[in-house]
Amino acid sequence: MTKTILGLSGSLRRASFNAGLLRAATELVPKGARIEIGSIRDVPLYDGDLEKSSGLPPAVQLLQSHLQAADGVLLVTPEYNNGIPGVFKNAIDWMSRGPGLQMWAGKPVAVIGASPGGFGTIMAQNHWLPVLRTLKATVWAEGRLMVSRAGDLFDADGNLTDTASRDRLAEFMGGFANTL
């Protein structure tokens, strides 16, 4: 049976390197697995009063339904100030509310990312670890993918054009998908 991976990019930018990395992953994931791309765009800022009065926002409910159905999750994270971008953490925080906490528990999660700098989001990827541990997710740590110098590897629309990076991504996705 085909395995489904929920893929989330933590950038809202049109030509985002990380959204492009996620699109490339959908093309390079091995046979027997597919990536369902979820969007964090319509997730509001977390507000406990809003949650109390209206419950989970529709965008969060949609993401949770994808999470529930997924065999694994791929987080494609930018790095801001050596950490997780707020918009991405905000979306995952919302997704952990209500029935979401149970959905994360034991879910295999892989983290990758791209940045124009020389360290390819290594700090942001590390910052996800305590978050994922708190969610009781199962972090897939056999592979690592830090895409550095992204400006040289993506086209103007944020498509990953560099062959060596695509090969590394295919290898990463093969390793992750094989464990699902």
90 is a site residue for ligand FNR (CB under 6 A): no
**Residue 78 near ligand FNR by CB under 6 A:** yes
Which residue stretch of 86-94, 97-105, 110-118, 132-140 sits at the interface with ligand FNR (rule: CB under 6 A)? Answer: 110-118
C-alpha separations of 176 from 49, 73, 77, 124 in Å: 38, 10, 17, 20
121 to 140: interface string for ligand FNR, x by CB under 6 A: --------------------
The residue among 79 and 173 lying less far from ligand FNR, judged by its C-beta, is 79
Told to check if 96 binds ligand FNR by CB under 6 A, we report no
Q: Which of 82, 102, 134, 161 binds ligand FNR (CB under 6 A)?
A: 82
In the complex, least distance from residue 81 CB atom to ligand FNR, rounded to whole angstroms: 5
C-beta closer to ligand FNR: residue 5 or 160:
160
CA distances from 30 to 6, 74, 145, 173, 180 (A): 15, 14, 17, 7, 12
Instruction: Say whether residue 79 binds ligand FNR (CB under 6 A).
Output: yes
List of residues contacting ligand FNR (CB under 6 A) = 11, 13, 16-18, 78-82, 115-117, 119
